[in-house]
């Protein structure tokens, strides 16, 4: 028998937000599916003038639609299962039961150590049901869909090792982060929201430094780019921009997947440029330089710093909202928690968890804002690359090849792009680059 109070305002907000988000996502994915049925076999006329677009023959266009449909048909049961599990965990009273269970074995609330282990076990165990639920869908995606369409190079042994490594890393980093958060909640019960945000930003910066040096090599091998025309042109590009890095590396992405990418990561002395080996095989030297020029554009145009600056006040505002919600005894009783003779200050981690649960049910409604900002940055980085290389032609050619190799949709509906795409579509990017060339 659940103790969740259906008339509670926080429970109602959670339920409404969860249902709206679920229905909205299914509506958007359905209109995208309908658009593929209508336009999936068509090659946009704007692409016909580019030699690279010859890859989009009838077979390739059919393969793109089949690939996207396969992912969509897997997403439907996955989404339904996740939606059902979310409601079951809340309305069955699982979370209060779990809290009482871990309390019995940790001696909560007798001191910081018991509070830490209670919170740690609660957060870890609360995430297990959704992790277990995702396993069969992850396996189907990796070994059925990705294999069928020629992307996945995974063996089950490699997949299992990746899962174990990821689990151990999450466990280790989670233990450290939760310890710091619990200490903040205990020491600063009336102002923890300020210090939690500061902690998260510091943690993010530290991860930017250690990820390329420590974490990424656990999963992939990084070798310095060999001397040759490509390295020479990239080095000249970096020198002209005044971009200093710890090196140019090739990642063995083909060990796991045929998908391709390039990025620069790290911070300070750990900053490095990374090219997927699949990308080097798919693009010629000029196209690779143009794609890398796009990535360097994000750096030179200060997109990362600007996002960070914008996120600071947003994070403080959101975390303050979570703090205010966590101070209300109504949210605890609404979700079935009963704390006899225990002040709210002692169970702030539960309030933090519940506040995230409530606010998180509506977070996807912010997608259009973040997506629009990201697409604007991508347009600017494209323009930067075109100016840097002297012409948009190499970037256009590279983008067409990448779109073809990764089986990305050519004509998704505008509403779907508006809501979900953090990159402009291929046609939008080509139009913008052509306009730049005309100017």
Give me the active site residues, please.
295, 382
Partners of 222 in beta bridges: 251
Q: How far apart are CA 19 and CA 91, in angstroms?
A: 14
Q: Which two tokens mark 96?
A: 């209060």
* Residues 178 and 116: beta-carbon distance below 8 Å: yes
Q: How many CA atoms lie within 13 A of 317 on its CB side?
A: 5
Residue by residue, DSSP assigns 168-233 as HHHHHHHHHHHHHHHHHHHH-TTTHHHHHHHHHHHHHHHHHHHIIIIIHHHHS-EEEPPSSHHHHH
Q: How far apart are the first and last CA of the chain?
A: 69
Question: Who contacts 292 (Cβ-Cβ below 8 Å, separation ≥6)?
Answer: 234, 237, 262, 273, 275
Strands 222-224 vs 262-265: parallel, antiparallel or unpaired = unpaired
**Count of C-beta atoms within a 10 Å radius of residue 378:** 20
Report the C-alpha gap between 220 and 402 in whole angstroms: 22
What lies within 8 Å, CB to CB, of 306 at 6+ separation is none
User: Shortest CA distance to 322 belongs to which of 200, 149, 164?
Assistant: 200
Question: Could you write out the DSSP letters of every residue in 232-295?
Answer: HHHHHHHHHHT---S-EEEE-GGGTBS---EEEE-SGGG-EEEEEHHHHHHS-HHHHHHHHHHH
CA 359 to chain centroid, in Å, comes to: 18
């Amino acid at each position: 028998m659940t103790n969740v109070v259906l008339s509670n305002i926080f429970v109602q907000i959670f339920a409404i937000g969860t249902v709206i988000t679920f229905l909205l996502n299914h509506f958007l994915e359905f209109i995208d599916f309908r658009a593929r049925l209508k336009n999936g076999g068509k090659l946009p006329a704007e692409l016909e003038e580019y030699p690279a677009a010859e890859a989009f023959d009838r077979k390739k266009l059919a393969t793109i639609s089949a690939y996207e449909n396969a992912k969509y048909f897997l997403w439907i049961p996955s989404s339904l299962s996740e939606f059902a599990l979310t409601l079951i965990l809340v309305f069955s009273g699982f979370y209060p039961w779990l809290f009482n269970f871990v309390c019995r074995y940790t001696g909560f609330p007798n001191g910081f150590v018991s509070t830490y282990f209670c919170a740690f076990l609660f957060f870890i165990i609360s995430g297990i049901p959704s992790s277990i639920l995702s396993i069969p869908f992850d396996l189907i995606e990796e070994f059925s869909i990705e294999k069928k369409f020629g992307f996945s190079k995974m063996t089950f042994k490699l997949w299992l090792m990746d899962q174990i490594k990821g689990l151990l890393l999450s466990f280790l980093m989670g233990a450290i982060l939760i310890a710091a958060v619990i200490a903040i909640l205990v020491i600063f019960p009336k102002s923890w929201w300020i210090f939690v945000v500061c902690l998260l930003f510091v943690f993010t910066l530290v991860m930017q430094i250690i990820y390329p040096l420590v974490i990424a090599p656990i999963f992939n091998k990084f070798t310095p780019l060999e001397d040759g025309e490509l390295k020479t042109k990239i080095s000249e590009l970096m020198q002209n921009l005044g971009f200093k890095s710890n090196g140019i590396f090739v990642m063995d992405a083909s060990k796991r997947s045929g998908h391709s990418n390039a990025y620069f990561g790290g911070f300070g002395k750990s900053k490095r440029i990374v090219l997927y080996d699949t990308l080097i095989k798919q693009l010629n030297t000029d196209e690779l330089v143009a794609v890398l020029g796009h990535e360097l554009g994000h750096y030179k145009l200060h997109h990362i710093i600007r996002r960070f600056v914008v996120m600071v006040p947003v994070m403080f505002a959101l975390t303050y909202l979570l703090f205010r919600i966590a101070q209300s005894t109504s949210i605890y009783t609404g979700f079935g928690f009963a704390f006899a003779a225990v002040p709210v200050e002692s169970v702030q981690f539960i309030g933090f968890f519940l506040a995230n649960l409530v606010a998180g049910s509506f977070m996807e409604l912010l997608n259009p804002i973040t997506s629009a900002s990201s697409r604007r940055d991508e347009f600017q980085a494209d323009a930067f690359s075109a100016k840097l290389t002297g012409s948009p032609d190499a970037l256009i050619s590279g983008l067409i090849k990448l779109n073809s190799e990764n089986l990305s949709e050519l004509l998704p509906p505008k509403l779907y792009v508006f809501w979900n795409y953090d990159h402009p579509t291929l046609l939008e990017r080509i139009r913008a680059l052509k306009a730049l060339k005309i100017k």
